[in-house]
Amino acid sequence: MRASSRARSVAESWTLRLSSEVARLRGEGVDIVSLLEGEPDLPVPEAVVRATEEALRAGRTKYSASAGLPKLKAAISRKLKDENGVTAAPENILVANGAKQAVYEVLQALCEAGDEVLIPAPCWVTFPEAVKLAGAVPVLVPAGADHQLDLEALERAATTKTKAIILNTPNNPTGAVYPEAALRAVAALAERRGLTIIADEAYEALVYDGARHVSVASLGASAAARTVTIQTFSKSFAMTGFRVGYLAGPADLVEAVGRIHGHVTGNTCTFAQCGALAALGLGDAHRSSWRAAHQKRRDVAFELGSRLFGCAKPQGGLFLFADARRHLGARFADSSALAAHFLEAGKVAVVPGSAFGREGFLRLSFSASEATLREGFARLEGAL
């Protein structure tokens, strides 16, 4: 049986493939330290667990509204306004099975065959493949210094075929947080060129050292009219397995996404949405403690990683994007070879930068405990 050209055009997810390999090795009894996952290892907040259990016991196990529970959408509307400065009525919000599904469905609703989508690189592994699945062409635009947006390069990359630009801040894999001035410049570019901005803000709660996350949709009526904001409960509340994310945007686009969504899935898990509703009630205390815990881990990873690699200190997110080029050459041909060596010789799993569109780098997650981080970096050093 031959797969479609569409399926053949899409690369396997590097991160999921490596996670499967780690699971296989651990199943064989191999002691692997994984620095792969963008998955907070702190526990799901007790209030979320309790609300989910109560929903299960109350029989909230049936189909529910395809676009999301009304109470949850109303709470998301308030959250976006209060925390992000983004105005979105509940009817302009759609709850999806994580941010990944939201990105996919927005691109399906937007793109025609041959359209181009600008993606600042390095970028999350799914962005280019989701663009391809929509029949469009991903155009990777290299970032500038410290992994910040190269605004001139974005301007040069835009053509008559460009349909959208994907912005991911805080950025996966680099940890860069884009400042307001840069986001305003992108919004102006989108207005001049008639582009849609797909704003993936999965890590919006994880910013450090006083850095400020800015939602591009908060930057005035024109920016809001062109922006789809995508957020998730996975990173902010350790709810990765719940699979609850959401998008908010212009009414006509959300309506189009909703039509696709209704055929892709019946609804996001009903009782998981009840847990998500409880998460939004946790308030500032949770966000502050959450951020502090991850900043402490970031500091440990940056200190240890800087001994081995060139590292820009992440302003947000869960990753170091380590410059490993000093170790490449005669011994290791590229970042994939180096990552393979670390897995074989050091029993540490990392992701090569080539997976994110930037050769010569490695992505190292600091979402693990401090003890795990210290063990992992010690093994990396030993393998070098």
Query: HEC states along 325-374?
Result: HHHCCCCCCCHHHHHHHHHHHHCEECEEHHHHCCCCEEEEECCCCHHHHH
Decide if 100 is inside a domain. Answer: yes
Q: Are residues 232 and 365 in the same domain?
A: no
Look at residue 18 in the predicted model and tell me its pLDDT: 77
Q: Are residues 95 and 187 in the same domain?
A: yes
Q: Are residues 178 and 112 in the same domain?
A: yes
Render pLDDT for 249-274 as a digit per residue (tens, 0 to 9). Answer: 999 999 999 999 999 998 999 999 99
Render 125-167 in DSSP notation, one character per residue: THHHHHHHHTT-EEEEEE--GGG---HHHHHHH--TTEEEEEE
CATH of the domain at 308: 3.90.1150.10
Look at residue 7 in the predicted model and tell me its pLDDT: 81
Q: Are residues 260 and 241 in the same domain?
A: yes
Decide if 261 is inside a domain. Answer: yes
* d(C-alpha 155, C-alpha 219), whole Å: 19
Decide if 111 is inside a domain. Answer: yes
Decide if 296 is inside a domain. Answer: yes
* d(C-alpha 125, C-alpha 121), whole Å: 10
**Which percentage of the chain shows pLDDT scores above 90?**
87
Decide if 21 is inside a domain. Answer: yes
Render pLDDT for 156-171 as a digit per residue (tens, 0 to 9). Answer: 999 999 999 999 999 9
Under the banding of pLDDT at 50, 70 and 90, the label for residue 372 is very high
Q: How many domains does the chain have?
A: 2
Render pLDDT for 24-39 as a digit per residue (tens, 0 to 9). Answer: 978 889 898 999 888 8
Q: Are residues 74 and 197 in the same domain?
A: yes
Q: Are residues 139 and 263 in the same domain?
A: yes
Under the banding of pLDDT at 50, 70 and 90, the label for residue 3 is confident
Under the banding of pLDDT at 50, 70 and 90, the label for residue 234 is very high
Opening angle at CA 315, ends 312 and 316, nearest 5: 120
Range of the domain at 360: 5-43+284-383
Render pLDDT for 314-355 as a digit per residue (tens, 0 to 9). Answer: 999 999 999 999 999 988 999 999 999 999 999 999 999 999
Q: Kindly list the distances between the CA atom of residue 84 and the CA atoms of 80, 200, 382, 383, in Å, as whole numbers in the listed order.
A: 5, 13, 44, 43
Residue 146 identity: D
CATH of the domain at 235: 3.40.640.10
* Average pLDDT for 72-82: 98
**Of 36-45, 49-58, 195-204, which gets the smallest average pLDDT?**
36-45
* d(C-alpha 327, C-alpha 308), whole Å: 9
Q: Are residues 267 and 342 in the same domain?
A: no
- Domain end position, chosen among 282, 314, 344: 282
> Is pLDDT of 91 > 90?
yes
What is the number of other CB atoms lying within 10 angstroms of the CB of residue 332? 17
Look at residue 80 in the predicted model and tell me its pLDDT: 98
Q: Are residues 209 and 259 in the same domain?
A: yes
Under the banding of pLDDT at 50, 70 and 90, the label for residue 16 is confident
> Is pLDDT of 130 > 90?
yes
- Domain end position, chosen among 234, 261, 282: 282
- Domain end position, chosen among 282, 300, 323: 282
Opening angle at CA 77, ends 71 and 78, nearest 5: 95
Under the banding of pLDDT at 50, 70 and 90, the label for residue 283 is confident
Look at residue 204 in the predicted model and tell me its pLDDT: 96
* Average pLDDT for 55-74: 96
Residue with more model confidence, 6 or 239:
239
Decide if 54 is inside a domain. Answer: no
Look at residue 48 in the predicted model and tell me its pLDDT: 96
* d(C-alpha 36, C-alpha 332), whole Å: 20
> Is pLDDT of 12 > 80?
no
Q: Are residues 169 and 222 in the same domain?
A: yes
Measured over the CA atoms of residue 120, residue 300, residue 340 and residue 311, the dihedral's sign is: positive
Structure tokens at 179: 């400042």
Look at residue 21 in the predicted model and tell me its pLDDT: 82
> Is pLDDT of 90 > 90?
yes
Decide if 49 is inside a domain. Answer: no
Look at residue 34 in the predicted model and tell me its pLDDT: 92
Q: Are residues 365 and 331 in the same domain?
A: yes
Asked if 93 contacts 87 with a C-beta cutoff of 8 angstroms, the reply is no
Q: Are residues 367 and 257 in the same domain?
A: no
Decide if 48 is inside a domain. Answer: no
Under the banding of pLDDT at 50, 70 and 90, the label for residue 45 is very high
User: Mean pLDDT score of the chain, rounded to an integer?
Assistant: 94
Q: Are residues 200 and 332 in the same domain?
A: no
Render pLDDT for 192-222 as a digit per residue (tens, 0 to 9). Answer: 999 999 999 999 999 999 999 999 999 999 9
